[in-house]
Structure 1
Amino acid sequence: MEYFQDYEDTETTTTRTRTVKKTSSTTKTTTMTTPAKLYGKDLSVYDDVDVETLLDKLTPEEINILAKEVDPDDSFLPPSQRTSYDCDKEPTGPLNRKQLIEHINRQAIETPDRPELKPYEAGVVRGKKWIPPPPPKKEIEADEKIAVDLGDEYEHALSGATQEEIIDLAAILGFHSMMNQEQYHASLLNKGQPVGLGWDGITKASKPKIFPMDPPNNTDVEDSIRRVQNDDPKYIDLNWNNIKNISDEKFNTLFEGLEQNTHLETLSLSNTSLTDRGAERLAQALEKNSQLRVVNVESNNITPLGVVRLIKSLLKQNSVEEFRATNQRTQILGNKIEMEITQLIEKNPTILRLGLHLEYNDARHRIAMHLQRNIDTKRQKIKAKYQIHLDRIGKAKIIRTE
């Protein structure tokens, strides 16, 4: 005979008491949960099983069957090892991608389409039309306006204010998000509101300005190479920008003529698919040419090492004043390359402008300071030369008057 306590709560209007009753019982009521099982056995039975030992006992055929049944959740494995598909057919030959695509396209064209259960008719909805469900109540409540009590004094002042005065007040208080663009700029310029664009108005997008397309570059590549090789004194600007399909042989011929040229001052090779091979040949030409002032190789396929090689070649003659090499194949140069470029620029006493995207503030600051120093030095030289010229003119006048 076992005894257990049964608790009974009784509640009155003033107090809450608890009484205990002793009753007799011959059975116990318990709550049990069914443990998880695998193949009719509890999972705890498999805790001491050595998986490696079981795998060693399996044959290669059994391991292959087991691998097909298991799909590991590992994104680092290639799809061929994560899926149960296994093709045992030996390849009939090397992979020909072109023939494979042609075969797939031919099969897609020859395979007939599935017949539609209901033919298509314009304006007729086939099947059940989807109707969006109503929005939740919380969203509806959030969209409702919130009433704010500002007091009698402020309510009286705002109720008698015009739209222009309210917009000006919002601009003064910094409530830019409450105004559209036209209202904001009108309040800054102290102008009246445009017609139809009051406090409840909506700013319409302005029509974009249509600019004419740039004309294609009609520069004759062969003629420009010939004039550079012949050192034409009237040919001081070579512009090959946006000219496609320029062969490496033409680049090499141009750079060979550039080594002996003494009149060309501007070299523009932007967006001409120039690679590191051409950049190396150009660097060799820059080391021998002392007349070039502007070099532009933007929007090409030059790597960071190629850019460093070009900047390093500028130190040989110290004649180039402007060098541009942004928007290359590799957008980010890296800290090591940027520091190397910074050290090379700081050794160059003649460069005045550098077109290159730098990520680190230290490199940008040091290069900007050095370029400004070069500009100040050149300005002082020009000023001194101009003063000497004025002195000579003054002395000549004095001599003539005497």
Structure 2
Amino acid sequence: MALSYKKDLGKYKDLDEDEILNNLSAEELKQLESALEEMDPENALLPAGLRQKDQTTKSTTGPYDRDRLLKYLEKEAMEHKDRDDIVPFTGERKGKAFVPKEKPMESRQEEVTNLDPELEEALSSATDTELCDLAAILGVHTLVTSNKTYDGTGATEGHNNVIKGEKMNPVFDEPPNPTNVEETLQRIKSNDSSLKEVNLNNIKNIPIPTLKDFAKAMEKNTHVTKFSLAATRSNDPVAGAFSDMLRENKSLRSLNLESNFITGVGVQALVEALRDNDTLTEIKIDNQRQQLGTTAEMEIAKMLEENNTILKFGYHFTQQGPRSRAAAAITKNNDLVRRRRLEKDP
């Protein structure tokens, strides 16, 4: 029997299932679906939304009116009687109501100190100045404000009864930088002999091309000795332009580039330019937007060791090694200046 059963199944191996399904009609597919559901009602391999028959193909029983349906549901809900409580609510209170205990108010009476008649007479007739001196001896320094403690020492009547607080002195903001940017640039280009110092600090609306024009104009200027560019939003391109200026200019003595957006790349460009400059004595590059890094600090220390003219270098090193080397180099340069001065003035 088993062999004959297997022979009967063998003829179904070569059937094409896809072809059979494609040839079925819609009604035959529905019958097949219902048959499969009866065979496996759980349908564990199907999503949850597909485990039931499609029940949306029913014909409508009437026109759909949302407002009418809501009114009908509200009416049905109002007409439906609530379930009777098994234990009716009677409103009876059980137990005792909590009543907080009232604590009697404690009347605090100050202790009366009895003094000698002579001491009471002396205190009653004492002036404010004498009371302040007595308070200072006893260590009660907060009896009167420190600024008013000895105001009445020079007067015969002592302190007044009413002591007013001091008025606070208003602290006004610093006025904006009055430097005319365009006029100053033209004076630098014309090599004005009366222009010795350029101060552009805290002028934050100077365009980057204008700052580069300042650096370009300073290359041929022979009168400006101090140039300050702090807090002007200068970046690496501006630092590169000023590094080119330092290679050409031989009259500038002080350069301030603090509180800007210069990174280690711009600082290294300035350091390379200072190797070829023997006139600058002071440069400030501290308080940039980001730290320069160890590589830039090592290059700065190496440059200061090779340079003999820089006497002041404004930068706070973060590494101990470059800091020590830079301090030693600055000390050496100042010592050389002192020796030259002593040789000229024996």
Does 2:313 align with 1:367?
no
Provide the rounded CA distance (Å) in 1 between the counterparts of 2:169 and 2:341: 42
Q: CA deviation at 1:248?
A: 2.3
Provide the rounded CA distance (Å) in 2 between the counterparts of 1:333 and 1:268: 20
SS in 1 for 2:227: strand
Does 2:284 align with 1:338?
no
Alignment equivalent of 2:315, drawn from 351, 356, 375: 356
Provide the rounded CA distance (Å) in 1 between the counterparts of 2:267 and 2:140: 53
SS in 2 for 1:214: coil
Residues 193/260 of structure 1: CA separation in 2 closer, same or farther (3 Å cut): farther
Does 2:154 align with 1:195?
no
Q: CA deviation at 1:253?
A: 1.9
Does 2:242 align with 1:296?
no
Q: CA deviation at 1:336?
A: 2.1
Contact kept in structure 1, 2:231 and 2:258, CA below 8 Å: yes
Residues 254/208 of structure 1: CA separation in 2 closer, same or farther (3 Å cut): same
Provide the rounded CA distance (Å) in 1 between the counterparts of 2:307 and 2:300: 11
Residues 220/363 of structure 1: CA separation in 2 closer, same or farther (3 Å cut): same
Residues 251/209 of structure 1: CA separation in 2 closer, same or farther (3 Å cut): same
Alignment equivalent of 2:276, drawn from 299, 309, 316: 316
Match of 1:164 in 2: none
Letter in 1 for 2:252: L
SS in 1 for 2:222: coil
Residues 246/348 of structure 1: CA separation in 2 closer, same or farther (3 Å cut): same
Letter in 2 for 1:311: V
Provide the rounded CA distance (Å) in 2 between the counterparts of 1:338 and 1:215: 35
Alignment equivalent of 2:214, drawn from 249, 254, 258: 254
Q: Deviations over 1:95-135 (max 9, x none)?
A: xxxxxxxxxxxxxxxxxxxxxxxxxxxxxxxxxxxxxxxxx
SS in 2 for 1:246: coil
SS in 2 for 1:311: helix
Contact kept in structure 2, 1:333 and 1:358, CA below 8 Å: no
Match of 1:236 in 2: 196
Residues 248/382 of structure 1: CA separation in 2 closer, same or farther (3 Å cut): same
- Using CA pairs under 8 Å that are at least 6 residues apart, name the structure with larger relative contact order, 1 or 2: 2
Contact kept in structure 1, 2:254 and 2:281, CA below 8 Å: yes
Q: CA deviation at 1:211?
A: 4.0
SS in 1 for 2:178: coil
Match of 2:266 in 1: 306
Does 2:226 align with 1:280?
no
Contact kept in structure 1, 2:305 and 2:326, CA below 8 Å: yes
Contact kept in structure 2, 1:219 and 1:239, CA below 8 Å: yes
Return the TM-score normalized by structure 1. 0.45
Q: Deviations over 1:322-360 (max 9, x none)?
A: 110111121x22222211211111111000111112111
Match of 1:156 in 2: none
Contact kept in structure 1, 2:267 and 2:296, CA below 8 Å: no
SS in 2 for 1:295: strand
Matches within 5 A, 1:176-215: 193=139, 195-196=141-142, 211-215=171-175
Q: CA deviation at 1:210?
A: 5.2
Provide the rounded CA distance (Å) in 2 between the counterparts of 1:209 and 1:326: 33
Contact kept in structure 2, 1:342 and 1:367, CA below 8 Å: yes
Provide the rounded CA distance (Å) in 2 between the counterparts of 1:207 and 1:278: 47
Q: CA deviation at 1:242?
A: 0.5
- Root mean square deviation, CA, Å: 2.7
Residues 245/384 of structure 1: CA separation in 2 closer, same or farther (3 Å cut): same
Match of 1:379 in 2: 338
Contact kept in structure 2, 1:233 and 1:263, CA below 8 Å: yes
Matches within 5 A, 1:91-106: none
Q: Deviations over 1:277-314 (max 9, x none)?
A: 11111110111001111100111111112112112212
SS in 2 for 1:339: helix
Match of 1:65 in 2: none
Q: Deviations over 1:368-397 (max 9, x none)?
A: 11101111110111222233xxxxxxxxxx
Alignment equivalent of 2:285, drawn from 325, 329, 338: 325
Q: Deviations over 1:160-194 (max 9, x none)?
A: xxxxxxxxxxxxxxxxxxxxxxxxxxxxxxx9846
Q: Which runs of 5+ in 2 are unaligned?
A: 1-44, 48-136, 144-165
Contact kept in structure 2, 1:219 and 1:240, CA below 8 Å: yes
Matches within 5 A, 1:112-151: none
Provide the rounded CA distance (Å) in 2 between the counterparts of 1:290 and 1:353: 18
SS in 2 for 1:316: coil
SS in 1 for 2:321: helix
Provide the rounded CA distance (Å) in 2 between the counterparts of 1:325 and 1:299: 8
Q: CA deviation at 1:213?
A: 2.3
Provide the rounded CA distance (Å) in 1 between the counterparts of 2:289 and 2:265: 12
Letter in 1 for 2:306: K
Provide the rounded CA distance (Å) in 2 between the counterparts of 1:241 and 1:317: 24
Residues 249/208 of structure 1: CA separation in 2 closer, same or farther (3 Å cut): same
Matches within 5 A, 1:37-186: none
Letter in 2 for 1:334: G
- Structure with larger Rg: 2
Provide the rounded CA distance (Å) in 1 between the counterparts of 2:171 and 2:344: 44
